[in-house]
Amino acid sequence: MRRRGIVAGAAALLVAASVALAGCSSSDGIAGSYTGGDYTSSDGATTTYSVKNRTQPISYSATTATGTTVSSKALLGHVVVINFWYAQCGPCIAEAPRLEKLSQQYQSDDVQFLGVNINDEAAQAIAFENAYGVTYPTTIETGHNSPMRFAFSGKVSPTTTPTTIVVDKEGRVAARFSGEITADQASVLSEVIQDTVDEKTTT
């Protein structure tokens, strides 16, 4: 469907990011009335950025649970929906079917969904995907090997688990959803994805 020294400093940053992501968050508030552009929901869980207020393109390269490489360079020209999760997170379990449904809905619109598992080994991540019918790839972040968390640290850091980030065709963050993608938020996420798909690129 169409509508469908340096090392220590880096380690310290990763520890801070890991602590911030350690909580497992469910957002129960209704996301509100998204109408495009800059927007923050009444519960603070959803933030969208107009084109003029987006960050610089995010650069990353990471390895999936099956051993393949995904990178921002390869995904330029696609809208990318990135979900930070781990297997024992209740809200992550609850939202998985909703994210999978959206990934199927938008698969013909140059939209790529990508999971980022922040805690588990590849085998556990794959078992989760099989159990909950998740078909899009997931990268594995273990120990000090956390390229996706490093890439998104700063203004749009994934500060809770789960967090879902929408990246536009030029690699810039268009939206961040903190906490579970509930049924209400899935509707807003769908609108955000479609709006981002419909944007004209400047390059």
Q: What is the pLDDT of residues 59-69, one digit of tens each?
A: 999 999 999 99
Low-confidence winner among 30-34, 70-74, 99-103 (lowest mean pLDDT)? 30-34
Q: Is the pLDDT of residue 167 over 90?
A: yes
Q: Look at residue 12 and tell me whether its pLDDT is greater than 70.
A: no
Confidence bin at 202 (pLDDT 50/70/90): low
Q: Which residue has the higher pLDDT, 167 or 203?
A: 167
Between 13 and 48, residue with greater pLDDT:
48
Q: Tell me how crowded residue 171 is: count the other CB atoms within 10 A of its CB.
A: 20
pLDDT at 8: 40
pLDDT at 149 > cutoff 60: yes
pTM of the model: 0.84
Residue 20 pLDDT > 80:
no
Residue 95 has pLDDT above 80, yes or no: yes
Q: Is the dihedral of CA 60, 64, 70, 72 positive or negative?
A: negative
pLDDT (0 to 100) of residue 26: 58
Instruction: From 161, 167, 196, select the one nearest 181 (Cα to Cα).
Output: 161
CATH 3.40.30.10 fits 6-198, yes or no: yes
* Angle at CA of residue 198, ends 61 and 69, nearest 5°: 15
Per-residue pLDDT of 98-128, as tens digits, reads 999 999 999 989 999 999 999 999 999 999 9
In this prediction, residue 158 has a pLDDT band, given cuts at 50, 70 and 90, of confident
pLDDT at 34: 81
Is the pLDDT score of 6 beyond 50? no
Instruction: Give me the pLDDT at residue 27, please.
Output: 55
The residue to which tokens 């959206």 are assigned: 102
